[in-house]
C-alpha cells in the first residue's frame, strides 16, 4: 500500500490513509554457516543515521531505491500539494522535486531504474498517477486507472511495466500498464472486503497484497492475497489464527515476510505486539514468527535477498498519551538473539524502507529520512533482486 496508532490521516472518498512514526527492526540472517562464534555473538552494530527531509515534505509515506545511490521518497507536503524528495548519493543528501499542484497526497512509489519511476496517490478529483522517465527532473501526470477514486500502491517490474492497486471506495482491484501509465488494463478484484496496505511483486506475474478485512466495527483480521497471473485473479491464502492488521509484505525469491501488529484495531491506539509472518513457498503458506524482538506496530519491510530483511515500525512510550519512539534492533541468527543498534538523529520512527543492496537501506517516515548500514558483506556474483516494499511502497 494502517492501524492501531494515533497518527495523521488523509480521507479520500471512503478510504483513509494513515501516516505513522516508528521503530526500525532489522533482520539479518547469517551469510554463512561457517561464521565463527565471535562474529555470531559480537557482530558490528547496525547504524541508522537520520536527517530532516527537505522542507517541502512533512509526512513521508513510501521510499523506493532503484540503485544503492538513487532513491525517491514520497508523501504529504507542507501545504496542499504532495511532496517528492530524491537522493543520488544513497541518502546523504536529499533534494525536493517538483510535484503537479493538483496532487494532494502520494502513498506509493516504485522505481525500476534510475530514470523510470511511478508514484501513486490522490488528487482533489480522485486518484493520481505521476511518472518520470528522467529520474524525476520532470514528474508528469498520467491517466488514472479507470474508475479509481484512489490509487494506493504500485510495483514496477520493468521500465514501463507496473501493477497498481486502486479502489472506488467499495472494491479494490489491480490494473496493469506496459507503457508507464499511458494506458491501463484492469485486472481482477482483491478478495471481497479486503483493504490492502501493501503490494509486492517478486516476478512480473506473481504478486502478493497484504492488509485486513473488517470483521467488526473498528476491528479487522489480517489478509494476504496472491496472484499468479499479474493481477488477473486474486485468491486469499490461509493464515494462522491470531493474525492482526498487516501493513507490509516483501519477498526475495520464495522467501517472504509480512509485517504488522497483533492488534485487530483499525482505528485509534490499541496496544498490541508487533507481528511478523514468514513464508518459504512464495506466500502460499504462512506461519507467525516467535523468535523476533517485538515492537508494538510494524509498518514496512524490505528483503534485498533471502538472508537479509529490514522491518520498520512503532513503539509507543507511556500509557495515557503514548509517544512514538524510534529505535533499531538486529539479529544475525534468524531472530534467536536481538541487539539494539546505534542511532544518530532518528527522533521519529520510520514508515517505509527500501534496501537496494544487502548492506544498505533507506527508510522514510514523518519529516525524517534515514540511511541504514548493515553488518553484512555483499556476495558475488549475484543475489535476489529486491521487491517493491510497500506499499505503499516499491
208, containing H or E segment: strand 207-216
| pLDDT for 60 | 96
| pLDDT for 386 | 47
Set out the domains of the chain in order of their start, with CATH numbers.
9-373 (2.120.10.80)
In the predicted model, residues of the chain with pLDDT beneath 70 are 1-43, 269-271, 293-295, 327-341, 379-394
* Gap between the Cα atoms of 357 and 373, Å rounded: 10
Q: If 0-12 CB within 10 Å is exposed, 13-18 middle and 19+ buried, where does residue 13 land?
A: middle
| pLDDT for 273 | 79
Phi-psi region of 169 (alpha: psi -120 to 50; beta: other; left: phi over 0): left
CA-to-CA dists, residue 84 to 10, 59, 60, 314, angstroms: 17, 10, 9, 23
**Phi and psi at residue 215, in whole multiples of 5°?**
-125, 0
Buried b (16+ CB within 10 A) or exposed e, 238-263: ebeeebbbbbbbbbbbebbbbbbbbb
| pLDDT for 293 | 63
CA-to-CA dists, residue 101 to 44, 84, 87, 169, 388, angstroms: 45, 12, 22, 24, 26
CB contact at 8 A, 309 and 302: yes
Dihedral of alpha carbons 308, 391, 75, 174, sign: positive
* Gap between the Cα atoms of 137 and 133, Å rounded: 9
Q: What is the pLDDT of residues 103-157, one digit of tens each?
A: 999 999 999 999 999 999 999 889 999 999 999 999 999 999 999 999 999 999 9
| pLDDT for 269 | 66
| pLDDT for 383 | 45
Cis omega (within 30 of 0) for bond into 64: no
| pLDDT for 159 | 94
| pLDDT for 340 | 64
Alpha carbons within 13 angstroms on the beta-carbon side of residue 310 total 39
**Phi and psi at residue 345, in whole multiples of 5°?**
50, 70
Model pTM score: 0.85
Amino acid at each position: 500500500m494502517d492501524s492501531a496508532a494515533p497518527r495523521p490521516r488523509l480521507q479520500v472518498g471512503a478510504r483513509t490513509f494513515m501516516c505513522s512514526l516508528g521503530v526500525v527492526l532489522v533482520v539479518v540472517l547469517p551469510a554463512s554457516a561457517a561464521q565463527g562464534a565471535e562474529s555470531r555473538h559480537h557482530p558490528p552494530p547496525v547504524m541508522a543515521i537520520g536527517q530532516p527531509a527537505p522542507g517541502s515534505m512533512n509526512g513521508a509515506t513510501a521510499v523506493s531505491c532503484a540503485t544503492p545511490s538513487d532513491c525517491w521518497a514520497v508523501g504529504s507536503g507542507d501545504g496542499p500539494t504532495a511532496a517528492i524528495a530524491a537522493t543520488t548519493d544513497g541518502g546523504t543528501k536529499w533534494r525536493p522535486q517538483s510535484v503537479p499542484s493538483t496532487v494532494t497526497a502520494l502513498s506509493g512509489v516504485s522505481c525500476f531504474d534510475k530514470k523510470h519511476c511511478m508514484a501513486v496517490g490522490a488528487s482533489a478529483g480522485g486518484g493520481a498517477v505521476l511518472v518520470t522517465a528522467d529520474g524525476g527532473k520532470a514528474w508528469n501526470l498520467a491517466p488514472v486507472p479507470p474508475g479509481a477514486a484512489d490509487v494506493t500502491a504500485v510495483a514496477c517490474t520493468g521500465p514501463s511495466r507496473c501493477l497498481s492497486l486502486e479502489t472506488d471506495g467499495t472494491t479494490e482491484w489491480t490494473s496493469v500498464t506496459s507503457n508507464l501509465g499511458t494506458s491501463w488494463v484492469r485486472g481482477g478484484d482483491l478478495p471481497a472486503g479486503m483493504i490492502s496496505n501493501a503490494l509486492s511483486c517478486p516476478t512480473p506475474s506473481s504478486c502478493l497484497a497484504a492488509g485486513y478485512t473488517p470483521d467488526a466495527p473498528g476491528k479487522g483480521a489480517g489478509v494476504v492475497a496472491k496472484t499468479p497471473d499479474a493481477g488477473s485473479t486474486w485468491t486469499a491464502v490461509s493464515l494462522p489464527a491470531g493474525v492482526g492488521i498487516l501493513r507490509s509484505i516483501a519477498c526475495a525469491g520464495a522467501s517472504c515476510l509480512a509485517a504488522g501488529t497483533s492488534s485487530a484495531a483499525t482505528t485509534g491506539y490499541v496496544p498490541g505486539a508487533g507481528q511478523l509472518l514468514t513464508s518459504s513457498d512464495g506466500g502460499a503458506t504462512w506461519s507467525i514468527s516467535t523468535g523476533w524482538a517485538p515492537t508494538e506496530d510494524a509498518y514496512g519491510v524490505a528483503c534485498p535477498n533471502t538472508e537479509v530483511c529490514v522491518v520498520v515500525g512503532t513503539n509507543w512510550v507511556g500509557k495515557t498519551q503514548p509517544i512514538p519512539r524510534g529505535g533499531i534492533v538486529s539479529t544475525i541468527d534468524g531472530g534467536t538473539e536481538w541487539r539494539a543498534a546505534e542511532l544518530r538523529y532518528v527522533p521519529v520512527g520510520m514508515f517505509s524502507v527500501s534496501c537496494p543492496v544487502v548492506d544498505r537501506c533507506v527508510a522514510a517516515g514523518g519529516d525524517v529520512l534515514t540511511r541504514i548500514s548493515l553488518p553484512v558483506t555483499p556476495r558475488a556474483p549475484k543475489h535476489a533482486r529486491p521487491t517493491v516494499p510497500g506499499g505503499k511502497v516499491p
